[in-house]
Structure 1
Amino acid sequence: MDPLFSPPLHRQRHQFVIDFVKRNKPQKVVDLGCSECSLLKKLKFHREIELLAGVDINGAIVKKKMHGLAPLSADYLQPSYDQLRIELYQGSVTQKDVRLRGFDLVTSIELIEHLTLDDVERFSEVVFGYMTPAAVIVSTPNSEFNPLLPVLAGFRHSDHKFEWTRAEFQSWALKVCLEYGYEVEFTGVGQAPPGQQERVGFCSQIGVFHRLGGRVSRNMFNGDDAEDVFSYTQLYSINYPSLRDNNILRRVLASEVLYWAEKLKRRWMEEKTGERDDGYTLSQTEGGAEECVRASEQCMGMEEKQTGVCGGEMKHPVKQCGRGVAEVQEVEDEELFWTDRKAQLESCRLHRCVSVPLAVLWSCCPKVSALSGSLNNLRHLLMDEPNVKLNQDGSAVLLQEQEEEEDNNVLEDSGYGEASQCSHSAEQEGGWEKND
């Protein structure tokens, strides 16, 4: 049947739902009769949805396909502020379950024709009387279109209990609206050949129901409102990574801070020693690194002492110290730490670290400021982060001047640094992907 339509009919039905979601932006959506979860797999990319649920009576099919709803690597490497939870249940649409009440949108795509007429009445009571969603999309075959389908004898599927004409479908839908306080619009997908659309209608007819504001259902299940009924079996649930999770926010922020602190440290060491490390050259193609240094110069002052945002006096936005920051502040001439004798410089490296003020990082890296919101928040979020070492007053990040060979790339450990939007690539994988 699908080769008659382009795109295929099942894709047109799913696209109809997706277009509705784009226009109306529901936060809670449940697909009744989700089967292989193909519609849910498309809806999960629409991040205005915070809760996405599916129900099917055939739990084996759901279990076979449900892991396709798991977060992708990119969802862990670049978590957004959006929240998404996915829940899948095994159960009958003729039974009520309190976990599916109060949704913004319920979809029933090619489902009701698999029910007996008695079960259709129960379906109406459960969906419109008990679940009371803000909107419902119901699609079902239009039997008037069947004569146009080749090699079709009887119903379109062996499990169909009925296939309604347009008048029969509209009669059922209008009765639902009258009993449960909804209004309905009729449409469909699968256009008939030219000149026959009015005579036979759409191949799949669709009713879009909207709950009338303030109207109370007359046939609501009496006394059931106060009951917490759990008739479905939960098969799957997962929360997508989100920056609203404080642990995830800390980890992403720490990775971003370490990335840019390392950049600034390398640049400063190059200026001081006159040596360049090609592996860490701040080129224009990396975009933002040079601007970051210029911004830090303007913010903290390269040549003159001035009081920074963190409250301390600094000659340079990035400073090198011995065993502690206090030692740096006691030395009047910073250049005493540096000599022209390479051997002496090398002998002292294991005892040195580089101090990168948080004020510089916050002011020059938009991603850091966006994630933290303020300098105080940045300091607070990093305080308990084990991968970030701060100085005693928490105003700067401390980095080893020269790290051991096996530990010299903070980006490999971060799992996020190269994927962030602060002008570095998202091609690397790994990091902290969750095992399902």
Structure 2
Amino acid sequence: MEPIFTPALHKQRHQFVIDFVKRNRPRKVVDLGCGECSLLKKLKFHREVEVLVGVDIDGAKLKKCMHGLAPIPTDYLQPTYDQLHIELYQGSVTQNDPRLRGFHLVTSIELIEHLTLPDVERFSEVVFGYMIPAEVIISTPNSEYNPLLPGLRGFRHSDHKFEWTRAEFQSWAVKVSSEYGYEVEFTGVGEAPPGQQERVGYCSQIAVFHRLRGRDGCNILFADDAEDLLSYTLLYTVNYPSLHDNNILRRVLVSEVIYWTEKLKRRWREVRTEERDESIVWCQTAAEGDECFRSSECGAEINRLMEHCGRYMAENQEEEVFGTKGQGKQESCRLQSRCVSIPLAVLWTSCPKVSALSGNLSNLRHLLTTDPEVKLSQDGSSLLVDLQEQDLEEEGDHDLEDSGYTEVSQCSYSAAQEEDWEPNV
């Protein structure tokens, strides 16, 4: 069967939720009747959401699809400050579970028509009377549209217990809103052919509920929750890597520090091996370096770091590396037992990414102190770089993704099963 909607109807329903999330930026979202987790897999890329939960009665389906919600390699290589926690539960939407209280958005996409009418009433009590989210999105088939669907006889799916007209759906939604302290607006997706929209409405009708002021679900007292049974079974949980995790932050920061110090060390070696009749001026060396270095995206930072380091001296067993040219004499960078000492203050000031990750000099020192990959001076004020190590291999065009850093701080339903008549929609 050729699709009769472009984009496909299920994609339009999901896009409606995604657009809502972009506009309203809810931090905690739960999808009731999440089925194959299709909507969750799209929402996980919208980092407005910090907690993403799916519930479905079909545990086998959840177990089959849950790994599609796992972080991808890029999430580990380029962690951001965004936080995302995902959970999947097996359970019935007609049962209370205290773990689902206090959410900002609840979605129920093509779910309620799979429930008996008594269960719809229980579903209303659970969502609006117990969970009390700030906003709710519910979609369901519009039976008035059915005559326009090719080859359809009866309900759109064999498991549907009912399919409401627009008047029936709106009557239920208004009653629920009045009873539980919400207001509701109606819309839909899947427009009718030209000239028939007013007569039959949308193929999928949607109600968007907003909790009224004065009934603040965020101020729910959870004292009674201790007596509530945990009705759902947790099948899957994962925390996405985030720079709010100190271990991840330290790993990314150390990687960035090592990258810049190794680049600096290699540049020092290049300068030392140059044969010149006169002493080399730091600034001139940086400016007159090879074309590859000048064209590097990190060349400016290295130049600045070299200039700053040229003003510092190591304390013991000093051996002059670079002198000065012309009248007078600048301070020079010195060797200390074949180690070069790079003050953390210079590193922090000269490398924007290091300063952005660490926040301040004290935090930089603290994060580096306990890491075995870096060596600090006795007073912790400088980074010691061993010049006896092998030169870095030629890197070609360096992609900063290798350092594990992304510039994030410029300061990252069983019922949802598709209807029988639209397997290709």
Aligned length: 375
Partner of 2:99: 99
Q: What residue identity is the alignment partner of 1:116?
A: T
The verdict on how the C-alpha distance between 1:282 and 1:354 changes in structure 2, with shifts beyond 3 A counting, is farther
The verdict on how the C-alpha distance between 1:180 and 1:156 changes in structure 2, with shifts beyond 3 A counting, is same
Shift of 1:185: 0.4
8 Å contact kept, 2:260–2:302: no
Q: What residue identity is the alignment partner of 1:176?
A: V
The verdict on how the C-alpha distance between 1:336 and 1:5 changes in structure 2, with shifts beyond 3 A counting, is closer
Partner of 1:376: 362
Describe the superposition over 1:31-71 as per-residue Cα deviations: whole angstroms up to 9, x where unpaired.
00001000000000111111000000000000000000000
CA RMSD of aligned residues (A): 2.7
Q: Does 2:55 match 1:55?
A: yes
Tell me how far apart the structure 2 counterparts of residues 246 and 419 of structure 1 sit (CA, whole Å).
15
Tell me how far apart the structure 2 counterparts of residues 336 and 203 of structure 1 sit (CA, whole Å).
76
Partner of 1:357: 343
Describe the superposition over 1:137-177 as per-residue Cα deviations: whole angstroms up to 9, x where unpaired.
00000000000001000000000000000000000000100
Greater CA deviation, 382-391 or 115-124? 382-391
Shift of 1:215: 3.3
The verdict on how the C-alpha distance between 1:197 and 1:153 changes in structure 2, with shifts beyond 3 A counting, is same
Shift of 1:388: 1.0
Partner of 2:278: none
Greater CA deviation, 16-25 or 355-364? 355-364
Shift of 1:24: 0.2
Tell me how far apart the structure 2 counterparts of residues 65 and 377 of structure 1 sit (CA, whole Å).
41
3-state SS of paired residue (2:251): helix
Q: Tell me the TM-score normalised to structure 1 length.
A: 0.80
Tell me how far apart the structure 2 counterparts of residues 121 and 66 of structure 1 sit (CA, whole Å).
29
Q: Does 2:313 match 1:327?
A: no
Partner of 2:302: 293
Partner of 1:200: 200
Partner of 1:139: 139
Tell me how far apart the structure 2 counterparts of residues 22 and 397 of structure 1 sit (CA, whole Å).
44
Tell me how far apart the structure 1 counterparts of residues 385 and 216 of structure 2 sit (CA, whole Å).
64
3-state SS of paired residue (2:227): coil
Tell me how far apart the structure 2 counterparts of residues 207 and 378 of structure 1 sit (CA, whole Å).
50
Greater RCO, CA 8 A, separation 6+: 2
Q: What residue identity is the alignment partner of 1:420?
A: Y
8 Å contact kept, 2:30–2:105: yes
3-state SS of paired residue (2:81): coil
The verdict on how the C-alpha distance between 1:335 and 1:161 changes in structure 2, with shifts beyond 3 A counting, is closer
The verdict on how the C-alpha distance between 1:241 and 1:52 changes in structure 2, with shifts beyond 3 A counting, is same
Shift of 1:389: 1.2
Shift of 1:397: 1.8
Partner of 2:405: 420
The verdict on how the C-alpha distance between 1:181 and 1:187 changes in structure 2, with shifts beyond 3 A counting, is same
Aligned residue runs from structure 1 range 1-400, under 5 A? 3-215=3-215, 227-274=227-274, 283-289=293-299, 291-296=300-305, 299-300=308-309, 302=310, 305=311, 314-315=312-313, 326-328=315-317, 331=318, 334-335=320-321, 352-400=338-386
Tell me how far apart the structure 1 counterparts of residues 51 and 348 of structure 2 sit (CA, whole Å).
34
3-state SS of paired residue (1:283): helix
Q: Tell me the TM-score normalised to structure 2 length.
A: 0.82
3-state SS of paired residue (1:13): helix
Describe the superposition over 1:259-314 as per-residue Cα deviations: whole angstroms up to 9, x where unpaired.
000111111221122189xxx9862442132x1233235545x3xx5xxxxxxxx2
Shift of 1:92: 0.1
Q: What residue identity is the alignment partner of 1:296?
A: L
Tell me how far apart the structure 1 counterparts of residues 365 and 60 of structure 2 sit (CA, whole Å).
50
